[in-house]
Every structure is written in structure tokens, then in C-alpha cells.
């Protein structure tokens, strides 16, 4: 049994910010993380996605170099996907090192392992029990899957795979299922990199259907269309079918049924809270039907 003022479950931006804040207030802090400190944002989200977006933007600019009065002596440029991914991994690695160092300097005890809340509100990890005067649950979220659409990490992937790709080349054709922030972001990356990109969204607005102001979302939709993304709003995707060369993606829109063959499918239909198997029930932490922790305004 180890005692701390605060035990944090999860080392993503929510968890490490809470841990650093508590440590700088002079509290003793333990933070349990099953993968790497930095969470989704650093390893599978914002940072790698922005690095790839930037690579795609550079490629698009170079591809149009002649319009800007810059001649490429060897003709058309080609994307170098492994190089873009090496740069992405380098940026993530550097930030991960910086964050780990910062946590160490602030004396946050980082424990590698899967943490579970216990009945009395402690956190069990690797056979040890960490007891805090307060426990903060920051388990974050994971990609949502579509039933019947097996994510194999190769032909059918999520943003977790797309942000950690070790593939030696880009797919030639991709279907992005879901036009939210993540789907639109990757549709932009792939389109700019010269991949034939089809964006399938169930809601009436094909790009960013929920969230931002329509005027803003429409600017992105127009930009994607102009660059060549094939956008299908109100598209209901059916069961995927593997073929020798790729995946058949059937979908229905108000215009009728259609089917496309692609090399890869990116499933980006949203994320769900990672509250399965964190011991919430045993600890009496209420989780609603969709997996969200129910919080109240009670203070410690």
C-alpha cells in the first residue's frame, strides 16, 4: 500500500495537467498510465495528426510550385510517406521526452500499468494499491467501432493506426467513414497527398456536421471538394467486404445505392469514453449508458 495526496488514473492531457497542478501545489502525486504519458493527444491525436497535416500541406504547395513560379527540375514531386512518418514520430518522441522530464522534475510518481479503482476508492496497479486523499479519473477515450466492421489495422483502420503508420506507402484509394473533425482532418491529409479520397458521412452536412458554425464548416467542405475529395453526405455505409485488392464499401444515399472499392478504410465515427474495466462499478463511480462518468458539484 502506498499513500499519496492525489492518485491520478490516466496520463493524458487531463491526467498530466491535474498531476502537475497538484504537484506544484506541494501535494504528493502518483499517476498511473497503461501506455505512455501524453495520452491520445500526444501519441494518437493532435500532435501526430498535425504533423501529417503539415506534411500534406507542404506536398500540396510543392505540387503547385510551378503556379508560384518555382520550377522543379525533375518534374512532379512524389510523397515520401515513410519520411513524413519519421518526422511525425520524431516530434512525438521529443515531446514525450520533454513531458516525462517535466513530470520527474515536479516529483510526480509515474506508474506504468493498468489501474483499476477498488471498492474503497484506491487504485490497484501491478499488485500494489495506491491510496490517495483524492483520486482523479482521467481515462480519456478510444475510437468507436462500427459493429460488423472489423478493424484490422491494415485494410480497416482508425485514427490510432493512421497516426502511427509504419506503411511504406500511401494507399491509392481510401474511404473515410465519418466527416467529423478527425475524418475531415484525415480526408484533407490523404487528398493533399494524392490519395483518391471518398468521405462518407451519415448526416446531411458531409463535413463537420456537428459542432462548428456552418459558415466555418462550409469553408472546409468547399476546400476539400476543390482539392478533389469526393464527399457523400447522408451516406449509410453497409457491411464491408474484403476483396483480393482491398475492401468493397457499399453505401446508400438519397440518390440511391453505390459501392466503391478502396485499398483502405478509415473508420472515424467518433470516440467513446475509456471507462470499461477501470473498476468504476466496484468503486461506486456512476457511469451512464454511453460510458460517461457522471460527475456532480461536490468538492473534496
Ligand X SMILES: Cc1cc2nc3c(=O)[nH]c(=O)nc-3n(C[C@H](O)[C@H](O)[C@H](O)COP(=O)(O)OP(=O)(O)OC[C@H]3O[C@@H](n4cnc5c(N)ncnc54)[C@H](O)[C@@H]3O)c2cc1C
Binding site for ligand X (CB under 6 A): 9-15, 32-35, 39-41, 44-46, 49, 114-115, 138-141, 159, 163, 182, 274, 278
Q: How far apart are CA 68 and CA 77, in angstroms?
A: 15
Q: How far apart are CA 210 and CA 226, in angstroms?
A: 22
Neighbours of 87 (CB within 10 A): 15
C-beta of 135 vs 163, nearer to ligand X? 163
C-beta of 40 vs 198, nearer to ligand X? 40
C-beta of 111 vs 253, nearer to ligand X? 111
Give me the least distance between CB of 161 and ligand X, in Å please.
11
What DSSP assignment string belongs to 255-275? TEEEEEEESEEEE-S-EEE--
Give me the least distance between CB of 87 and ligand X, in Å please.
17
C-beta of 157 vs 175, nearer to ligand X? 157
Tell me phi and psi for residue 43, to 5 degrees: -105, -25
Strands 256-262 and 173-177: unpaired
Give me the least distance between CB of 71 and ligand X, in Å please.
35
- Helix (H), strand (E) at residue 89: helix 81-105
Residue 17: closest CA among 38, 44, 40? 38
Give me the least distance between CB of 92 and ligand X, in Å please.
12
Give me the least distance between CB of 130 and ligand X, in Å please.
11
Give me the least distance between CB of 276 and ligand X, in Å please.
9
**Cβ-Cβ contacts under 8 Å for 40 (sequence gap 6 or more):** 12, 140, 141
Give me the least distance between CB of 15 and ligand X, in Å please.
5
Neighbours of 17 (CB within 10 A): 12
Do residues 115 and 32 touch, judged by C-beta distance below 8 A?
yes
C-beta of 124 vs 260, nearer to ligand X? 124
Do residues 93 and 87 touch, judged by C-beta distance below 8 A?
no
C-beta of 93 vs 241, nearer to ligand X? 93
Count CA atoms closer than 13 A to 283's CA, side-chain side. Answer: 21
C-beta of 33 vs 192, nearer to ligand X? 33
For residue 258, the cross-strand partners are 251
Amino acid at each position: 500500500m502506498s499513500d499519496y495526496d492525489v492518485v491520478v488514473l490516466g496520463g493524458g492531457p487531463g491526467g498530466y495537467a491535474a498531476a502537475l497542478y497538484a504537484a506544484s501545489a506541494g501535494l504528493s502525486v502518483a499517476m498511473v498510465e497503461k501506455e505512455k504519458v501524453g495520452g491520445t493527444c500526444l501519441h494518437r491525436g493532435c500532435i501526430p495528426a498535425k504533423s501529417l497535416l503539415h506534411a500534406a500541406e507542404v506536398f500540396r504547395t510543392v505540387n503547385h510550385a510551378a503556379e508560384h513560379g518555382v520550377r522543379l527540375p525533375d518534374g512532379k514531386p512524389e510523397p515520401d510517406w515513410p519520411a513524413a512518418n519519421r518526422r511525425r514520430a520524431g516530434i512525438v518522441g521529443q515531446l514525450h521526452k520533454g513531458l516525462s522530464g517535466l513530470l520527474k522534475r515536479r516529483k510526480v510518481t509515474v506508474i506504468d500499468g493498468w489501474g483499476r479503482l477498488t471498492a474503497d476508492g484506491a487504485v490497484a496497479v501491478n499488485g500494489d494499491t495506491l491510496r490517495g486523499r483524492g483520486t482523479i479519473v482521467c481515462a480519456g477515450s478510444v475510437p468507436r467501432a462500427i459493429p460488423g466492421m472489423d478493424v484490422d489495422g491494415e485494410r480497416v483502420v482508425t485514427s490510432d493506426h493512421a497516426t502511427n503508420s509504419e506503411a511504406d506507402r500511401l494507399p491509392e484509394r481510401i474511404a473515410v467513414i465519418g466527416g467529423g473533425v478527425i475524418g475531415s482532418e484525415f480526408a484533407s491529409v490523404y487528398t493533399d497527398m494524392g490519395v483518391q479520397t471518398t468521405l462518407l458521412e451519415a448526416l446531411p452536412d458531409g463535413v463537420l456536421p456537428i459542432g462548428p458554425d456552418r459558415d466555418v464548416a462550409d469553408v472546409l467542405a468547399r476546400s476539400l471538394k476543390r482539392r478533389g475529395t469526393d464527399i457523400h453526405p447522408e451516406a449509410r455505409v453497409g457491411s464491408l467486404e474484403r476483396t483480393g485488392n482491398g475492401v468493397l464499401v457499399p453505401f446508400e444515399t438519397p440518390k440511391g445505392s453505390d459501392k466503391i472499392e478502396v485499398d483502405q478504410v478509415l473508420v472515424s465515427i467518433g470516440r467513446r469514453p475509456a471507462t470499461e474495466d477501470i473498476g468504476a462499478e466496484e468503486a461506486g463511480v456512476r457511469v451512464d449508458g454511453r460510458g460517461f462518468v457522471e460527475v456532480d458539484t461536490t468538492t473534496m
